[in-house]
Amino acid sequence: MPKYQCPECEAVLRRAEAIAPGKKIRCPKCEAVFPANPLPDDEPAPEQAAGYALAGAPATPAKPKSLSDEENSDPYRVIKETGDEPKPEIHLGSLRDKFAKSKIGPAMFKTVLPSNWLLRLGLFSCVVAVAWFGFALFPIVFCEVTPLRPFIRPRVDMMLRATLMFSFGSIMCLGASKMHDLTSYAWSIIGACMALLIYVPTGILTALLLLLIFGPLAMLLAAAVLGLSLVGVWALIVLFNPLVREGFRERAEEVAY
């Protein structure tokens, strides 16, 4: 590689190809223009001379750099994992099962749907009871019939039945709430039994009545009514599940502590 020295700043310029004699070259540092006179080649150092003397001997292969040498030479280099190195196995031992798994989560997963439908039936019972009570009370308040006693007696019976129905609906709502939160197994059973006693006979009779009146056209509606009447049965089946009972027991222990 020919070398050229600037006479102004004495900078040494190296060019890949030699410049023809007589031509001039511009120094990139000081912008001076001078004739291209190449410098003489440097004499080889003793080590290089020894290398030239042994040029005919077979060259020894270079020792590959180790990973630590490469990291020291370039600390910002990205290291690619080959995947051949075995990964260390982690033995958790007793830490894996140190804490027992809670039964509350799986139990609540099973009780959410039946408790929600039980709550809907309880609210429906309360709304119907309030409407029934108002229907029975309205003629008594605005009635001018004399004598009043024979007219009041059937209305009072209707209001008592509406009050009883409202009580049953309230118990169903309470049982659904306790079942949803796993706070009381007894109240959950009572609420499910209330739904079973009230809506199974009522649902069956309503479905049969719809089929008798409207025929096959009411088949879908009768099936829906019959399905709603079996919410109490569904809730009882879920409550008798051993996993749900374990969840109730664990929740009771948490409340006790």
Query: Residue ranges of the domains in the chain?
Result: 3-35, 104-256
* Cβ–Cβ under 8 Å, residues 119 and 173: yes
Give the Cα separation of 245 and 173 in Å (integer): 20
Q: What is the pLDDT of residue 121?
A: 92
* Residue 61 identity: P
Per-residue pLDDT of the chain (257 residues; tens, 9 = 90+): 677 777 778 777 777 677 777 677 777 777 777 777 777 765 444 444 444 444 444 555 555 555 555 555 555 556 566 656 666 666 555 555 566 678 888 999 999 999 999 999 999 999 999 999 999 888 777 776 655 666 788 888 999 999 999 999 999 999 999 999 999 999 999 999 999 988 888 888 888 888 888 888 778 888 888 888 889 999 999 999 999 999 999 888 887 76
pLDDT in tens, 130-183: 999 999 888 777 776 655 666 788 888 999 999 999 999 999 999 999 999 999
155's CB contacts (< 8 A; 6+ apart) are 136, 137, 139, 140
Helix (H, G, I), strand (E, B) or coil at 12: strand
Residue 234 has a pLDDT of 93
Report which of 116, 160, 119, 118 is spatially closest to residue 137, judged by C-alpha positions.
160
- Give the pLDDT confidence score for residue 177 in this predicted structure: 94
Q: What is the pLDDT of residue 238?
A: 94
Tokens 């069956």 sit on residue: 204
Phi, psi values for residue 137, rounded to 5°: -85, -30
pLDDT, residue 201, reads: 86
In the block, tokens 């209001």 appear at 159
pLDDT tens-digit series, residues 38-59 = 777 654 444 444 444 444 445 5
